[in-house]
Amino acid sequence: MKNNHPYIIEINSIGSSDLGYISVAEIDGNIPFEINRVYWTYYTPNNVQRGFHAHKELFQVIVAVSGVINFKLITQFGKETHYTLDDPSKGLFIPKMHWREISFSHNAVLLCLASEKYDESDYIRDFDSFLNNGGK
């Protein structure tokens, strides 16, 4: 994977306000990796924050299928970036080794396209360890 920086991906949408829309995510189209896992979160109360981890190898594209989802991403060097997903035709590419803190609006639905299958050993769950040595 060449890009080590988060960025917003435009996801092509077709349709109209009369009939509705469809958005398509495709490998080699707008998703920069092979998708090995898809999951979604929902019914997350808007006063709850999630995330609080980084991944050693996993890449993700996150889409707010419904509602608003705010991300605070932090590099190992402490640089913060903030993103708001509020349109299902936009995805957030999150490269490996980015700490994430996520907040949700009421009834937000988060869809995640992941480069790897679930592997607990890929998670870094201690922030100080992440900053100091990448969770090693």
Q: Which run of H or E residues covers position 131?
A: helix 127-133
Active site residue 53: yes
| Catalytic residue chosen out of the listed positions 5, 53, 55, 82 | 53
**What is the C-alpha separation between 16 and 73, in angstroms, rounded?**
33
**What is the C-alpha separation between 82 and 70, in angstroms, rounded?**
7
Q: How far is CA 61 from CA 18, 21, 43, 93, in A?
A: 28, 20, 20, 4
DSSP characters over 37-48: EEEEE----TT-
For the annotated catalytic residues, the residue numbers are: 53
